[in-house]
Amino acid sequence: MGRILLLDAAPGAPLDREVERLVGHGLAVTLNLRRVADRASAVAAWADRVEFTDVDPFDEAALIGEVVRGGRGYDALKSRAGVPLRAAFLAAATDGALAHRLRVIGRAGAGTDHVDLAVAARHGVAVTHTPGSNADAVAEFALAQLLSLTRDLVAHNGAAHRGRWSAPSAPAVELGDLTLGIAGLGRIGLALAERARLLGMTVQGWSRSPAGPPVRRVESLAALLATSDVVSLHLPLTAHTAGLMGRAELALMRPGSILLNTSRGGIVDEQALADALRDPAHPLAAAAVDTFAHEHAAFASPLFGLSRALLTPHVAGMTGRAMAEAALRCADHVAALLAGRPDGIPVAVPPAPARSAW
């Protein structure tokens, strides 16, 4: 059917299932070992059925070199960690001199902001992803963030490890006393809403799509920020949402409120958030951030070192079930698109020009 470059396979046990699914679809797989933890086991298991490479997917020049090596090319590429695939790479991967010209990019996860969709469309490359595959995992993680902050688990853990018996200076708040505001009522936002409601929270949401039970709809982001004790972001990164949470928006939040971000880093102005958390007079009490504007090897943030910021390295969706589901579904999507069977397959389209809709 074609050649596929598996840039970053699902980690652990799901790797074998992912490769088996791709091979079962008749694809010639090249497995990139750079992000495989147990390389020896992967090579031993698949040496007679797949090819191997070792390339840093976040090094654009190295990635282009792999794609054009020997003039072979690839019909498809699969990414999990949001490897940037921009104009230079897309031009090289679709060069007509290659034996296999790139036709499909698959993302095992939700969102395609890592791909220049307009350029991909011009080169005839279809971009698919797996929306909803990690909804339960991310919803659970957002609750974990919230519980960690409201019960001050990080500080208590640190004190206990230092041999200090640090009783709280004030009683903690229970979730049932809080109003949760969810920005973005897609699959993840609704999964969080369901769980939060079962824990006794009052839940409200703001979204372009209609909201239904158990979510009470508010008509604007400003209203959501002003009436929620906790605001959890579950929006795609688009021209409409980039920088959505800036200084003005943070200032609208309730005194003592908490911000959770498991969506995309570019939605929040990290410098504005850091300044807010440094200011004892600011209404924002704490924030939990799992996604950043600069990640992986380029990881950097003005939030570093702030005690009121709970930081994690984009791991909200990384459960075994979610990653296996995303990997297998992505394999099926890529195979269907290569075979000319696009019906029912989610394919991203270039965004419309930014408007004030958000």
Which residues does the annotation mark as catalytic?
264, 295, 314
State both tokens at 39: 């390389």
Q: Are 1 and 23 in contact (CB under 8 A)?
A: no
Q: What angle do helix axes 320-338 and 135-150 make, rounded to 10 degrees?
A: 150
Residue whose entry in the numeric block shows the structure tokens 């982001």: 221
Angle at CA of residue 315, ends 311 and 316, nearest 5°: 95
Contacts of 211 (CB under 8 A, 6+ apart): 185, 205, 217
**Residue 204 region, left (φ>0) first, then alpha (ψ -120 to 50), else beta?**
beta
Cα 323 from Cα 108, distance rounded (Å): 8
**Residue 255 region, left (φ>0) first, then alpha (ψ -120 to 50), else beta?**
beta
